[in-house]
Amino acid sequence: MTESVAIALTTLPSREEADRLAADAVAAGLAACAQVDGPTRSHYVWEGNVENEEEYRVTFKFAATKGADLEAWVHARHPYAVPQWLAFAADHASPAYRAWVLGVR
C-alpha cells in the first residue's frame, strides 16, 4: 500500500495565531502546506449557550503517517479548550502533488 495524503482543519480566534500555527507546523516538518482562510463567522453551542465568533481556518496538507503527531502538536499549542480537529484522507491527489507532499520531511 502506498502512503497517502491527508487534510486537517482547525480554527483559531485571530489571524496572527492562525498564521503562527500554520507557519510553525510547516517549519516543524509536520505539514507540507498550511493555508489560512478567513475571517469566517462560526455559530456554535458552548457550555449550553449559543455563541458566535469570528475565526480563522487553518487547512493542513500532510503525509497521513504524520497525522497523529500533527494532531498532538496542534492540540499542545492551541488556545481553545476543545480545538476543532477534523482530519480526513484525500481520496485523490494528482501524482505530482502527492509526491511533493510526501517528499516534505
| Rounded Cα–Cα distance for residues 98 and 5 (Å) | 6
CA 60 from centre of chain: 4
Q: Could you state, in order of their start, the residue ranges of all structural domains in the chain?
A: 5-103
Query: What per-residue confidence (pLDDT) applies to 94?
Result: 95
Query: What per-residue confidence (pLDDT) applies to 48?
Result: 97
Q: Which CATH class is domain 5-103?
A: alpha beta
Instruction: Kindly report whether the global pTM for this prediction surpasses the value 0.85.
Output: yes
pLDDT at 1 over 60: no
pLDDT in tens, 14-67: 999 999 999 999 999 999 999 999 999 999 999 999 999 999 999 999 999 999
